[in-house]
Structure 1
């Protein structure tokens, strides 16, 4: 921005000030004419144009923008310029004036000659060419995106027909379906048992047993062997649990425990008969609980180090 009178740009030292009468921007040097304004009821500094308009009271009071303002925005009317000023006109100003003149001429043209066909063509040009993708291609793309076969996408949803069966017919159909499912399960179990029997026979052959000594009824033998295997497995598990119990007793022996309180790590003085932990006197009183059986104790002495 610059001053509307001297055209000097505003800066830190040249501040912008507004004329209180016309409202345009001026610097402090150009805003040095004092004048009494009735709307402010005081004497203030105004621009030179406002001061001159006060000296001519007969003329109508109109606020006209300064010439520097019109030169800056390039809004000078070309009809008001004479031939002498046309030579001083720059090339850029001439281009701007030509464009403004063309725009004014274009506004005066009435759009009566525009038809519906022209409007449709313009809309078609704006929209561009319409896609020619068929429905089959769209369904194939949708099936690829979903990861399902094409028939699952292209098939139209069919509503199930209304059930017109009676309650007795529905019950009979459910029983029939249950029996078919039971037959399928039985058949599968028999096939599975047969495969297991074949695998066991092959294993026996690989181990070197005589297949002639086997029982001709393999199913009964398998049942007996399975019962024997279950008994041996139960005995083995019981022996393993006993061995682990013995190991735990060996691991958690009184000689290996540390003679310190479980809470404060001080020297233990008593053993709780409920949880079998070692405590000092103060921590045992804090730990004491009648519901859990931790209300009784026995004195404890740390083993002597040999």
Structure 2
């Protein structure tokens, strides 16, 4: 099989090739090879046993270096809560605070309650220039979807995109592009 594969690949069949130069022939007898193998295995077993003896885990290994043995569970909980409160205050002061989920739920309720007010809040500031075309096909936009972060759509793309994903609860408002001379 190897000879046929080598012939198909255009190589010399392995039966006709000489042994690679980088492999020196083993001139030891079988008894010497067996003895060397046993010696190597006993050395490996000795290494494994030395690791197993030192591997005993005790209760002291689970104690934190800065923990007090007399500290009970309530004190530990209070200490952790105090530490988390301090970290949250630092995050908020540095501006790296991640909003919690209740804030997202409040925004969702506000989205359902007053979609027109939300649509005006989502409009870009003077720094950001809003392009007056559909975010999908670049036709002139006629609708703004409050449920899609105020994205602009033409009627066709809005229907195709929202009907396909069953997003019928998204609130829309009419969009009129600003005139060229008008400042945002």
After TM superposition, is the score higher than 0.5? Answer: no
TM-score, normalised via structure 1 length: 0.28
TM-score, normalised via structure 2 length: 0.43
Q: Which has the larger radius of gyration?
A: 1
